[in-house]
Amino acid sequence: MKIEIDMGATAASGAVPGPAMLDLEELLATRLLVQGNSGSGKSHLLRRLLEQSAPHVQQVVIDPEGDFVGLAERFGHVVVDGDRSVAELETIAARVRQHRISAVLTLEKLDAEMQMRAAAVFLNALFDADRDHWFPALIIVDEAQLFAPAVSGDVSEEARKLSLGAMTNLMCRGRKRGLAGVIATQRLAKLAKNVAAEATNFLMGRTFLDIDMARAADLLGLERRQAEVFRELQRGHFVALGPALSRRPLPIRVGSVETAPRGGTPKLTPLPEPAGADARDLILAPVPLGPARASAAERRAAAPPAPSVNQLLEEIVRNRPTAVPAEEAPALPPEERERALRAIAREIMADPDSFFRPEPVLFGDFQVRCRIGKVGAVAPAEFRLHINAARSGLDPELASGADWDRALGVARAIPDDLQAVYLIVAAAALAGAPCPSDSEVARRCGMHSAGRARSRVKHLDKGDLVVTRSDMSGNRVAAVPELGWETAPGDPNAPARIPDEAPRPETLDLFGTPERSAAE
């Protein structure tokens, strides 16, 4: 049975407007690509498609901005918050396929990298559903260039590959599993080619860059001189082509919708009456102190992440059978052992290259030094805490005080990927130093991306472990509410402080003469 939905009206010049129909069953077999600059009406088009097809087919929306959660009230879509554990997302996606319930995965609370990971987990779970649950479903992905980028950006390569693989599976292999991808992007140049190439239906909206207009014209089979039409399209006007839309390029005007996004294009409103002399007092009035922040015990516990390699190694060491007891050296007193571990960690991290060494290499070096110093066996979690404390660069005198012990006590409950960042900020606050820049945090954590360091600082701020603010000069100040400390203002965009390179020892040649470098 042929099912067609009304997308609006045709808008060809000199022709009588007629209904712009989309063959839903053909769309399920051929997929759809929507392209248009910001403000061209892509989200409006997707909303029209969702509303018209809601009675006929299951829908799953990957929504990075929370624009489509309004479908829940009108059409009964289940809104799934992307800020969940991997196991929860996989289970929910499996239930969505099994029970054929339309859903919206909203990712607005996550940063770019976490959005990619959550979307990849959810799409892979839809793709890996049991064969008995391969029912037809429209999978709408808004801002698809975020999940299938043509080039790597500030996110990690692991997250990019995971997300790109899930999008490729959706567009290349999803048809046999009943999954029909509908992807929307601002620019074709930002979208991975192997994802865009699998679409057979196209709706091209307003775009201005020559490279994007030329590529859109090529996809629609238009001549290069006709590419200027995409620059002149109005908001909500698209050029359609494909077996589910039209066999030739057809301009259409998208019809109205019943639901609306929570946001929208801001409208101009009259300014309030001038406040006169009271404006300064109104704006610069003393800022009241907010309510006390919740303690660590009152915060919502985060979902446990998947165990890391070091955690698995720690479990193996803890559960391995004990060997035949041999005569052991007397154990060091706890305080002396703690001082020895801190000293070993500082010795290792005194070398600037140690910041970028892999954690297993640092762990091996740490264990060897502990054996030499007769400190005894050290668990990976204990090693990680002392190495992260040494990454902070805190003065040894301050590091031996009770205040720093409090900071380490808080850090023990923080996830591994945020522990080092927390201790770096806490050390600067304890010493009264300026707040470290994103580049400095990245260097001390062994990362090459200041954006990733900035993202982790935001994660700490989101969890109330660190509270950041900006002063009038744009400098960042970080407070540690659990400890009552605060850093001095610091430029978040300042470059990392590269320590001076230690002088290299003089080497002699076979005749006892000092060797000269190539530069000399």
Residue from 104, 108, 182, 196 nearest 148 by CA: 196
User: CA 162 from chain center: how many Å?
Assistant: 12
Residue from 32, 34, 38 nearest 209 by CA: 38
In 295-418, where do the E strands start and end?
none
User: CA 24 from chain center: how many Å?
Assistant: 33
Regarding predicted confidence, which is higher, 519 or 158?
158
Q: In one letter, which amino acid is 74?
A: R
- R_g of the chain computed on alpha carbons: 29
**Sheet with 467-470: strands ordered across:** 467-470, 476-480, 485-486
Q: Tell me, what DSSP letter sits at residue 500?
A: P
Q: What is the rounded distance in angstroms from the CA atom of residue 405 to the CA atom of residue 410?
A: 9
Mean pLDDT of 28-52: 91
231: burial class by Cβ within 10 Å (0-12, 13-18, 19+)? middle
Residue from 476, 471, 472 nearest 487 by CA: 476
pLDDT given for residue 168 in this prediction: 92
Which numeric CATH code is attached to 4-254?
Answer: 3.40.50.300
- Residue 431 tokens read as 């010493």
pLDDT given for residue 324 in this prediction: 43
Q: What is the rounded distance in angstroms from the CA atom of residue 28 to the CA atom of residue 140?
A: 12
Whether pTM > 0.85 for this model: the answer is: no
Q: Tell me, what DSSP letter sits at residue 173?
A: I
Q: What is the rounded distance in angstroms from the CA atom of residue 74 to the CA atom of residue 57?
A: 16
267-280 pLDDT per residue, tens: 777 777 765 667 77
User: CA 145 from chain center: how many Å?
Assistant: 13
472-495 pLDDT per residue, tens: 888 999 999 988 999 999 999 998
CB count within 10 Å of CB 215 equals: 19
Q: What percent of the chain has pLDDT over 90?
A: 37
Contact between residue 463 and residue 503 where contact means Cβ atoms under 8 Å apart = no
360-373 pLDDT per residue, tens: 888 888 888 888 88
